[in-house]
Amino acid sequence: MTRGAVVFLLLVGMVMGAGPALALDDLTPYLEQQSAAEFSGEESIVCYTPDGTVSELTVVRQADGVRVVEDGEGAIGVTRVYHGDNWVLGDQYRVEVSGRDRFLSRPVTVVDVVEGDLVRVGLFFDQSSGALLASDVHNADGSTYCSSRFLSFDPKRPVIPDDLLAGLTTGPGSSEAGVVDADAFPTEIAGFSLTEVYEGPAAGVTNGYYADGIFSFTVFVSERAIEVPELVDAPVVKMRRGEYQRQFYPGQVIFAWQTRSGGIVLVGDLPLDLQEDVLEALPAPGKPNFFVRFWRGLFG
Amino acid sequence: MTHLGELLSAYLDGEVTEDERKLVTSHITDCGTCQAELADLHLARSALRSLPVLDLPAGLLDGEASVVIPLVRRPRVWIAAAAATVAVFVGVATFVAPEPTVPITFNEISLEHNNRSQLDPLLTPGKAVPPVSLPIGGAE
Protein backbone atom coordinates (compact mmCIF):
# COMPACT_ATOMS: atom_id res chain seq x y z
CA MET A 1 0.00 0.00 0.00
CA THR A 2 1.36 3.36 -0.93
CA ARG A 3 1.91 6.11 1.62
CA GLY A 4 -0.81 8.21 -0.04
CA ALA A 5 -3.35 5.42 0.27
CA VAL A 6 -2.60 5.06 3.97
CA VAL A 7 -3.11 8.76 4.55
CA PHE A 8 -6.36 8.63 2.62
CA LEU A 9 -7.67 5.75 4.69
CA LEU A 10 -6.67 7.48 7.90
CA LEU A 11 -8.52 10.62 6.83
CA VAL A 12 -11.64 8.63 5.93
CA GLY A 13 -11.46 6.93 9.29
CA MET A 14 -11.13 10.24 11.12
CA VAL A 15 -14.11 11.73 9.29
CA MET A 16 -16.32 8.71 9.88
CA GLY A 17 -15.45 8.56 13.55
CA ALA A 18 -15.33 12.27 14.15
CA GLY A 19 -18.52 12.53 16.21
CA PRO A 20 -21.62 10.75 17.37
CA ALA A 21 -23.86 12.29 14.73
CA LEU A 22 -24.99 9.74 12.18
CA ALA A 23 -27.67 11.91 10.60
CA LEU A 24 -29.10 15.39 10.87
CA ASP A 25 -28.59 17.03 14.24
CA ASP A 26 -31.82 18.97 13.77
CA LEU A 27 -35.06 17.71 15.23
CA THR A 28 -37.26 19.30 12.60
CA PRO A 29 -37.12 16.58 9.93
CA TYR A 30 -37.86 13.90 12.51
CA LEU A 31 -40.87 15.79 13.82
CA GLU A 32 -42.14 16.38 10.30
CA GLN A 33 -41.88 12.66 9.55
CA GLN A 34 -43.53 11.85 12.86
CA SER A 35 -46.52 14.11 12.11
CA ALA A 36 -46.89 12.58 8.63
CA ALA A 37 -46.63 8.97 9.81
CA GLU A 38 -49.60 6.61 9.58
CA PHE A 39 -49.85 3.72 11.99
CA SER A 40 -51.71 2.13 14.86
CA GLY A 41 -50.62 0.32 17.98
CA GLU A 42 -50.74 -0.07 21.74
CA GLU A 43 -48.65 2.41 23.66
CA SER A 44 -47.77 2.53 27.32
CA ILE A 45 -46.47 5.44 29.33
CA VAL A 46 -45.03 5.22 32.81
CA CYS A 47 -43.99 8.19 34.94
CA TYR A 48 -42.01 7.93 38.15
CA THR A 49 -43.15 10.70 40.48
CA PRO A 50 -42.61 11.59 44.14
CA ASP A 51 -46.22 10.55 44.71
CA GLY A 52 -45.72 7.12 43.14
CA THR A 53 -45.79 5.63 39.69
CA VAL A 54 -48.53 6.62 37.27
CA SER A 55 -49.08 4.71 34.07
CA GLU A 56 -51.47 4.36 31.20
CA LEU A 57 -52.04 1.94 28.34
CA THR A 58 -53.71 3.32 25.25
CA VAL A 59 -54.55 2.36 21.70
CA VAL A 60 -53.21 4.89 19.22
CA ARG A 61 -54.23 5.45 15.62
CA GLN A 62 -52.65 8.13 13.45
CA ALA A 63 -53.40 9.11 9.87
CA ASP A 64 -53.69 12.34 7.87
CA GLY A 65 -52.03 14.26 10.67
CA VAL A 66 -54.67 13.25 13.18
CA ARG A 67 -53.99 11.11 16.22
CA VAL A 68 -56.78 9.24 17.99
CA VAL A 69 -55.99 7.88 21.42
CA GLU A 70 -58.32 5.53 23.29
CA ASP A 71 -57.79 4.58 26.87
CA GLY A 72 -59.13 1.56 28.68
CA GLU A 73 -62.12 3.44 30.08
CA GLY A 74 -63.61 4.42 26.77
CA ALA A 75 -62.38 7.99 26.61
CA ILE A 76 -61.12 9.15 23.29
CA GLY A 77 -58.69 11.94 22.63
CA VAL A 78 -58.42 13.39 19.16
CA THR A 79 -55.42 15.57 18.51
CA ARG A 80 -53.94 17.05 15.38
CA VAL A 81 -50.31 16.03 15.19
CA TYR A 82 -48.77 19.20 14.00
CA HIS A 83 -45.38 20.50 13.22
CA GLY A 84 -45.33 24.11 12.19
CA ASP A 85 -42.85 26.78 11.31
CA ASN A 86 -43.23 28.49 14.67
CA TRP A 87 -41.68 25.57 16.54
CA VAL A 88 -38.42 26.75 18.12
CA LEU A 89 -35.98 24.64 20.09
CA GLY A 90 -34.65 26.36 23.20
CA ASP A 91 -31.03 27.50 23.17
CA GLN A 92 -30.26 25.27 26.12
CA TYR A 93 -30.76 22.16 24.00
CA ARG A 94 -28.72 20.53 21.31
CA VAL A 95 -29.78 17.56 19.24
CA GLU A 96 -27.54 14.55 18.75
CA VAL A 97 -28.30 11.46 16.73
CA SER A 98 -26.76 8.96 19.06
CA GLY A 99 -27.13 5.91 16.89
CA ARG A 100 -29.31 3.32 15.30
CA ASP A 101 -31.00 0.52 17.13
CA ARG A 102 -33.89 -1.86 16.85
CA PHE A 103 -37.19 -1.55 18.65
CA LEU A 104 -40.10 -3.97 18.23
CA SER A 105 -37.82 -5.66 15.70
CA ARG A 106 -37.86 -2.49 13.63
CA PRO A 107 -34.84 -0.29 12.82
CA VAL A 108 -35.01 2.99 14.70
CA THR A 109 -32.93 6.15 14.81
CA VAL A 110 -32.14 7.24 18.35
CA VAL A 111 -32.15 11.02 18.74
CA ASP A 112 -31.03 12.60 21.99
CA VAL A 113 -31.98 16.09 23.11
CA VAL A 114 -29.06 17.11 25.28
CA GLU A 115 -28.98 19.90 27.87
CA GLY A 116 -25.43 20.52 29.06
CA ASP A 117 -24.15 17.07 29.96
CA LEU A 118 -27.64 15.69 30.52
CA VAL A 119 -29.53 13.66 27.97
CA ARG A 120 -32.84 15.33 28.73
CA VAL A 121 -34.89 13.34 26.22
CA GLY A 122 -34.26 10.23 24.17
CA LEU A 123 -36.42 9.73 21.09
CA PHE A 124 -36.68 6.50 19.09
CA PHE A 125 -37.97 7.19 15.59
CA ASP A 126 -39.04 4.32 13.34
CA GLN A 127 -36.85 4.57 10.26
CA SER A 128 -39.52 3.26 7.94
CA SER A 129 -42.64 5.17 9.01
CA GLY A 130 -41.12 8.05 10.93
CA ALA A 131 -43.30 7.27 13.96
CA LEU A 132 -41.97 7.95 17.42
CA LEU A 133 -41.92 4.44 18.86
CA ALA A 134 -40.44 5.23 22.25
CA SER A 135 -39.22 8.12 24.36
CA ASP A 136 -37.47 8.67 27.67
CA VAL A 137 -37.57 11.89 29.66
CA HIS A 138 -34.98 12.48 32.36
CA ASN A 139 -34.76 14.67 35.41
CA ALA A 140 -31.73 16.88 36.05
CA ASP A 141 -30.09 14.13 38.14
CA GLY A 142 -30.32 11.72 35.22
CA SER A 143 -33.14 9.66 36.66
CA THR A 144 -36.02 8.76 34.41
CA TYR A 145 -39.17 10.82 34.78
CA CYS A 146 -41.37 9.30 32.06
CA SER A 147 -40.99 6.56 29.48
CA SER A 148 -43.32 5.81 26.62
CA ARG A 149 -43.17 2.62 24.56
CA PHE A 150 -45.25 1.14 21.80
CA LEU A 151 -45.98 -2.43 22.81
CA SER A 152 -47.32 -3.29 19.38
CA PHE A 153 -47.02 -1.38 16.14
CA ASP A 154 -48.73 -1.68 12.78
CA PRO A 155 -47.45 0.66 10.07
CA LYS A 156 -50.60 0.30 7.97
CA ARG A 157 -52.84 3.31 7.49
CA PRO A 158 -55.67 3.04 10.08
CA VAL A 159 -59.28 4.07 9.59
CA ILE A 160 -60.30 7.18 11.52
CA PRO A 161 -64.06 7.82 11.45
CA ASP A 162 -65.05 11.24 10.18
CA ASP A 163 -67.24 11.94 13.19
CA LEU A 164 -64.14 11.98 15.39
CA LEU A 165 -62.73 14.86 13.40
CA ALA A 166 -65.61 17.20 14.23
CA GLY A 167 -64.47 19.98 16.49
CA LEU A 168 -60.84 19.14 16.03
CA THR A 169 -58.63 22.16 16.51
CA THR A 170 -56.51 23.22 13.60
CA GLY A 171 -53.33 23.74 15.50
CA PRO A 172 -51.69 25.83 18.16
CA GLY A 173 -53.26 29.20 18.76
CA SER A 174 -56.66 28.23 17.46
CA SER A 175 -58.45 29.70 20.47
CA GLU A 176 -61.25 31.98 19.41
CA ALA A 177 -60.82 34.05 22.52
CA GLY A 178 -57.76 35.65 20.98
CA VAL A 179 -54.95 37.48 22.65
CA VAL A 180 -55.82 39.33 25.82
CA ASP A 181 -53.64 41.31 28.19
CA ALA A 182 -50.31 39.76 27.29
CA ASP A 183 -48.45 42.19 29.55
CA ALA A 184 -49.79 40.30 32.54
CA PHE A 185 -47.41 37.41 31.75
CA PRO A 186 -43.63 37.53 31.70
CA THR A 187 -42.19 36.79 28.26
CA GLU A 188 -39.84 34.20 29.70
CA ILE A 189 -40.04 31.85 32.68
CA ALA A 190 -37.16 29.54 33.59
CA GLY A 191 -36.05 29.20 29.97
CA PHE A 192 -39.57 28.85 28.58
CA SER A 193 -40.88 31.44 26.15
CA LEU A 194 -44.37 32.89 26.28
CA THR A 195 -46.01 31.66 23.10
CA GLU A 196 -49.65 32.56 23.52
CA VAL A 197 -51.96 34.40 25.89
CA TYR A 198 -55.66 33.67 25.81
CA GLU A 199 -58.81 33.54 27.93
CA GLY A 200 -60.85 30.62 29.16
CA PRO A 201 -62.17 28.12 29.91
CA ALA A 202 -64.05 30.16 32.53
CA ALA A 203 -64.77 33.87 32.72
CA GLY A 204 -62.05 35.84 34.40
CA VAL A 205 -59.36 33.25 33.76
CA THR A 206 -56.39 34.29 31.65
CA ASN A 207 -53.84 31.79 30.42
CA GLY A 208 -50.26 31.93 29.31
CA TYR A 209 -48.78 29.09 27.26
CA TYR A 210 -45.02 28.62 27.53
CA ALA A 211 -42.78 26.27 25.55
CA ASP A 212 -39.11 25.54 25.02
CA GLY A 213 -39.50 23.24 22.03
CA ILE A 214 -39.37 20.07 24.12
CA PHE A 215 -41.59 20.72 27.11
CA SER A 216 -44.45 23.11 27.66
CA PHE A 217 -46.83 24.33 30.31
CA THR A 218 -49.86 26.54 30.62
CA VAL A 219 -50.49 28.89 33.53
CA PHE A 220 -54.14 29.64 34.30
CA VAL A 221 -54.49 32.84 36.33
CA SER A 222 -57.55 34.29 38.03
CA GLU A 223 -58.20 37.08 40.52
CA ARG A 224 -60.12 34.47 42.50
CA ALA A 225 -59.04 31.07 43.75
CA ILE A 226 -59.38 28.41 41.03
CA GLU A 227 -61.22 25.29 42.12
CA VAL A 228 -60.43 22.09 40.21
CA PRO A 229 -62.84 19.38 41.40
CA GLU A 230 -60.42 16.59 40.47
CA LEU A 231 -57.84 18.08 42.83
CA VAL A 232 -60.02 18.05 45.95
CA ASP A 233 -58.18 14.99 47.26
CA ALA A 234 -54.86 15.78 45.60
CA PRO A 235 -51.87 15.78 47.96
CA VAL A 236 -50.60 19.10 49.25
CA VAL A 237 -46.85 19.26 48.87
CA LYS A 238 -44.38 21.70 50.35
CA MET A 239 -41.87 23.03 47.87
CA ARG A 240 -39.33 25.81 47.98
CA ARG A 241 -41.78 28.70 48.07
CA GLY A 242 -44.75 27.20 49.85
CA GLU A 243 -47.47 24.60 49.61
CA TYR A 244 -49.15 23.47 46.41
CA GLN A 245 -51.80 20.97 45.45
CA ARG A 246 -50.18 18.57 43.01
CA GLN A 247 -51.52 15.73 40.92
CA PHE A 248 -49.53 13.62 38.48
CA TYR A 249 -51.06 12.05 35.40
CA PRO A 250 -49.20 9.96 32.83
CA GLY A 251 -47.10 12.52 30.99
CA GLN A 252 -48.68 15.47 32.70
CA VAL A 253 -48.58 17.22 36.05
CA ILE A 254 -50.95 19.79 37.45
CA PHE A 255 -50.35 22.26 40.29
CA ALA A 256 -52.92 24.53 41.92
CA TRP A 257 -52.40 27.17 44.55
CA GLN A 258 -53.78 30.39 45.91
CA THR A 259 -51.74 33.57 45.91
CA ARG A 260 -52.17 36.86 47.72
CA SER A 261 -53.98 38.23 44.68
CA GLY A 262 -55.91 35.23 43.31
CA GLY A 263 -55.45 31.69 42.10
CA ILE A 264 -53.10 29.90 39.70
CA VAL A 265 -53.22 26.48 38.07
CA LEU A 266 -50.25 25.11 36.13
CA VAL A 267 -50.42 22.12 33.81
CA GLY A 268 -47.56 20.76 31.75
CA ASP A 269 -45.22 17.91 30.89
CA LEU A 270 -42.25 19.21 32.87
CA PRO A 271 -39.71 16.89 34.49
CA LEU A 272 -39.35 17.23 38.25
CA ASP A 273 -36.50 19.75 38.33
CA LEU A 274 -38.16 22.01 35.76
CA GLN A 275 -41.36 21.91 37.81
CA GLU A 276 -39.40 23.43 40.69
CA ASP A 277 -37.73 26.02 38.47
CA VAL A 278 -40.99 27.17 36.93
CA LEU A 279 -42.87 27.32 40.22
CA GLU A 280 -40.08 29.39 41.71
CA ALA A 281 -40.53 31.98 38.97
CA LEU A 282 -44.29 32.27 39.48
CA PRO A 283 -46.14 34.09 42.30
CA ALA A 284 -45.70 32.25 45.58
CA PRO A 285 -48.53 30.62 47.51
CA GLY A 286 -50.16 32.97 49.98
CA LYS A 287 -53.38 34.12 51.52
CA PRO A 288 -55.19 37.23 50.33
CA ASN A 289 -54.90 40.13 52.77
CA PHE A 290 -57.80 41.51 54.82
CA PHE A 291 -58.88 44.11 52.30
CA VAL A 292 -58.95 41.60 49.42
CA ARG A 293 -60.99 39.17 51.50
CA PHE A 294 -63.25 42.01 52.63
CA TRP A 295 -63.86 43.12 49.06
CA ARG A 296 -64.51 39.58 47.84
CA GLY A 297 -66.76 38.92 50.83
CA LEU A 298 -68.89 41.91 49.98
CA PHE A 299 -68.91 41.82 46.21
CA GLY A 300 -67.79 38.32 45.27
CA MET B 1 -69.38 55.00 85.28
CA THR B 2 -70.11 56.26 81.78
CA HIS B 3 -70.21 60.02 81.57
CA LEU B 4 -72.61 62.00 79.48
CA GLY B 5 -70.10 63.70 77.17
CA GLU B 6 -71.72 65.53 74.28
CA LEU B 7 -75.16 64.88 75.69
CA LEU B 8 -74.46 67.66 78.20
CA SER B 9 -73.92 70.14 75.39
CA ALA B 10 -77.16 69.06 73.76
CA TYR B 11 -78.90 69.34 77.13
CA LEU B 12 -77.78 72.95 77.51
CA ASP B 13 -79.00 73.68 73.97
CA GLY B 14 -82.39 72.15 74.73
CA GLU B 15 -81.89 69.51 72.00
CA VAL B 16 -82.49 66.36 74.00
CA THR B 17 -85.49 64.10 74.12
CA GLU B 18 -87.52 63.75 77.25
CA ASP B 19 -85.80 60.48 78.10
CA GLU B 20 -82.37 62.02 77.58
CA ARG B 21 -83.31 64.96 79.71
CA LYS B 22 -84.29 62.64 82.55
CA LEU B 23 -81.05 60.74 82.09
CA VAL B 24 -78.98 63.92 82.35
CA THR B 25 -80.75 65.22 85.39
CA SER B 26 -80.50 61.97 87.27
CA HIS B 27 -76.86 61.42 86.25
CA ILE B 28 -75.48 64.80 87.23
CA THR B 29 -77.02 64.40 90.65
CA ASP B 30 -74.45 61.75 91.47
CA CYS B 31 -71.60 62.56 89.08
CA GLY B 32 -69.20 65.29 90.08
CA THR B 33 -67.32 65.06 86.81
CA CYS B 34 -70.39 65.73 84.74
CA GLN B 35 -71.48 68.44 87.15
CA ALA B 36 -68.17 70.23 86.64
CA GLU B 37 -68.31 69.72 82.88
CA LEU B 38 -71.85 71.05 82.77
CA ALA B 39 -70.77 74.12 84.75
CA ASP B 40 -67.88 74.74 82.34
CA LEU B 41 -70.15 74.43 79.34
CA HIS B 42 -72.63 76.75 80.95
CA LEU B 43 -69.91 79.31 81.63
CA ALA B 44 -68.64 79.10 78.07
CA ARG B 45 -72.08 79.67 76.65
CA SER B 46 -72.67 82.60 78.97
CA ALA B 47 -69.39 84.12 77.90
CA LEU B 48 -70.29 83.69 74.24
CA ARG B 49 -73.68 85.26 74.77
CA SER B 50 -72.14 88.22 76.55
CA LEU B 51 -70.03 89.14 73.51
CA PRO B 52 -71.26 92.22 71.63
CA VAL B 53 -73.07 91.66 68.36
CA LEU B 54 -71.17 93.24 65.49
CA ASP B 55 -72.59 94.34 62.22
CA LEU B 56 -71.06 92.63 59.19
CA PRO B 57 -69.05 94.85 56.92
CA ALA B 58 -71.04 96.08 54.00
CA GLY B 59 -70.64 93.90 50.90
CA LEU B 60 -69.46 90.81 52.74
CA LEU B 61 -72.50 88.86 51.65
CA ASP B 62 -72.61 90.63 48.31
CA GLY B 63 -76.11 91.88 48.94
CA GLU B 64 -77.58 88.40 49.02
CA ALA B 65 -79.62 87.33 51.98
CA SER B 66 -77.97 84.59 53.94
CA VAL B 67 -79.57 81.16 53.92
CA VAL B 68 -80.07 79.47 57.23
CA ILE B 69 -79.98 75.70 57.18
CA PRO B 70 -81.27 74.25 60.42
CA LEU B 71 -79.19 71.45 61.89
CA VAL B 72 -81.13 68.35 62.67
CA ARG B 73 -79.88 66.25 65.49
CA ARG B 74 -80.56 62.56 65.06
CA PRO B 75 -80.83 60.25 67.99
CA ARG B 76 -77.41 58.62 68.55
CA VAL B 77 -78.78 55.21 69.28
CA TRP B 78 -79.59 54.67 65.61
CA ILE B 79 -76.08 55.62 64.57
CA ALA B 80 -74.63 53.14 67.02
CA ALA B 81 -77.02 50.45 65.85
CA ALA B 82 -76.17 51.08 62.22
CA ALA B 83 -72.45 50.97 62.96
CA ALA B 84 -72.84 47.72 64.83
CA THR B 85 -74.81 46.22 61.98
CA VAL B 86 -72.17 47.19 59.46
CA ALA B 87 -69.43 45.81 61.69
CA VAL B 88 -71.22 42.49 62.01
CA PHE B 89 -71.85 42.37 58.27
CA VAL B 90 -68.21 43.10 57.51
CA GLY B 91 -67.08 40.45 59.94
CA VAL B 92 -69.36 37.84 58.46
CA ALA B 93 -68.49 38.76 54.90
CA THR B 94 -64.77 38.75 55.58
CA PHE B 95 -64.25 35.76 57.78
CA VAL B 96 -67.28 33.51 57.63
CA ALA B 97 -68.55 33.60 54.07
CA PRO B 98 -66.66 31.22 51.75
CA GLU B 99 -64.23 32.77 49.34
CA PRO B 100 -65.64 32.97 45.83
CA THR B 101 -63.86 30.61 43.47
CA VAL B 102 -63.66 29.92 39.76
CA PRO B 103 -64.47 26.26 39.03
CA ILE B 104 -62.55 24.60 36.18
CA THR B 105 -62.42 20.88 35.50
CA PHE B 106 -59.24 18.98 34.76
CA ASN B 107 -60.54 18.11 31.30
CA GLU B 108 -61.01 21.79 30.47
CA ILE B 109 -57.51 22.58 31.67
CA SER B 110 -55.99 19.65 29.83
CA LEU B 111 -57.85 20.42 26.61
CA GLU B 112 -56.76 24.05 26.58
CA HIS B 113 -53.16 23.04 27.15
CA ASN B 114 -53.15 20.12 24.73
CA ASN B 115 -54.54 22.28 21.95
CA ARG B 116 -51.37 24.28 22.19
CA SER B 117 -48.83 21.60 22.95
CA GLN B 118 -49.17 19.84 19.62
CA LEU B 119 -45.74 21.14 18.69
CA ASP B 120 -44.19 19.13 21.49
CA PRO B 121 -42.34 16.08 20.21
CA LEU B 122 -43.50 14.17 23.28
CA LEU B 123 -47.14 13.77 22.36
CA THR B 124 -47.79 11.17 24.98
CA PRO B 125 -51.02 9.29 25.69
CA GLY B 126 -51.61 11.03 28.96
CA LYS B 127 -51.46 14.37 27.26
CA ALA B 128 -53.82 13.40 24.52
CA VAL B 129 -56.53 11.32 26.14
CA PRO B 130 -58.66 13.47 28.43
CA PRO B 131 -60.32 15.93 26.04
CA VAL B 132 -63.26 14.15 24.42
CA SER B 133 -65.52 11.67 26.16
CA LEU B 134 -66.98 9.48 23.45
CA PRO B 135 -67.62 5.78 23.99
CA ILE B 136 -65.20 3.69 22.02
CA GLY B 137 -68.02 1.60 20.63
CA GLY B 138 -69.85 4.64 19.37
CA ALA B 139 -66.80 5.94 17.64
CA GLU B 140 -66.22 2.92 15.50
Q: Please give the backbone phi and psi of residue A167, each rounded to the nearest 5 degrees, phi first.
A: 80, 5
Residue A9 C-alpha from the chain's centroid: 45
The answer as to whether A4 is a domain residue is: no
pLDDT digits (tens, 9 = 90+) for A137-172: 999 999 999 999 999 999 999 988 877 776 565 444
Q: What is the reported pLDDT for A300? A: 55
The answer as to whether A51 is a domain residue is: yes
Same domain, A86 and A141: yes
Same domain, A294 and A230: yes
Q: Does B118 touch chain A (CB under 8 A)?
A: yes
Give the whole-number percent of chain B exceeding pLDDT 70.
Answer: 66
Same domain, A33 and A160: yes
Q: Residue A46: how many CB atoms within 10 A of its CB?
A: 17
List of chain A residues whose C-beta atoms are within 8 Å of the C-beta of residue B91 = none
The answer as to whether A221 is a domain residue is: yes
Tell me which residues of chain B, numbers 53 to 112, contact chain A at a CB-CB cutoff of 8 Å. 90, 92-95, 97, 99-106, 108-112
Distance from A248 to chain B by nearest Cα, in Å?
Answer: 10
Q: Please give the tally of structural domains in chain A.
A: 2
Q: Are A109 and A129 in contact (CB under 8 A)?
A: no
The answer as to whether A10 is a domain residue is: no
Distance from A300 to chain B by nearest Cα, in Å?
Answer: 6
Nearest to A77 among B99, B113, B128 (CB): B128
Q: How buried is residue A149: exposed, middle or buried, by Cβ count under 10 Å (0-12/13-18/19+)? A: middle
Same domain, A216 and A154: no
Q: Which amino acid is at B131?
A: P
Q: Which residue has the higher pLDDT, B56 or A254?
A: A254
Compute the average pLDDT of residues B65-83. Answer: 74
Query: Under an 8 A CB cutoff, do A202 and B104 touch?
Result: yes
Compute the radius of gyration of chain A from its Cα atoms: 23
pLDDT digits (tens, 9 = 90+) for A85-97: 677 888 999 999 9
ipTM of the complex: 0.77
Query: Under an 8 A CB cutoff, do B90 and A215 touch?
Result: no
* B-interface mutation test, from A81, A135, A179, A249, most B Cβ less than 10 A away: A249
Q: Are A39 and A154 in contact (CB under 8 A)?
A: yes
- Which bin fits A189, alpha (ψ -120 to 50), beta or left (φ > 0)? beta
Same domain, A254 and A204: yes
SS3 (DSSP) at A265: strand
Least confident of A64-68, A211-215, B62-66, B114-118: B62-66
The answer as to whether A279 is a domain residue is: yes
Same domain, A201 and A249: yes
List of chain A residues whose C-beta atoms are within 8 Å of the C-beta of residue B105 = 228-230
Range of the domain at A97: 19-165
Q: Please give the backbone phi and psi of residue A62, each rounded to the nearest 5 degrees, phi first.
A: -140, 130
Rounded CA-CA distance A252/A69 in Å is 15
The answer as to whether A2 is a domain residue is: no
Tell me the pLDDT of chain B averaged across its residues. Answer: 72
Q: How buried is residue A157: exposed, middle or buried, by Cβ count under 10 Å (0-12/13-18/19+)? A: middle
The answer as to whether A14 is a domain residue is: no
Rounded CA-CA distance B42/A132 in Å is 99
Rounded CA-CA distance A272/A141 in Å is 10
Query: Under an 8 A CB cutoff, do B125 and A43 touch?
Result: yes
Q: What is the reported pLDDT for A275? A: 96
The domain that contains A89 carries what CATH number? 2.50.20.10
Low-confidence spans in chain A with pLDDT less than 50: 1, 5-23, 170-178
pLDDT digits (tens, 9 = 90+) for A118-134: 999 999 999 999 999 99
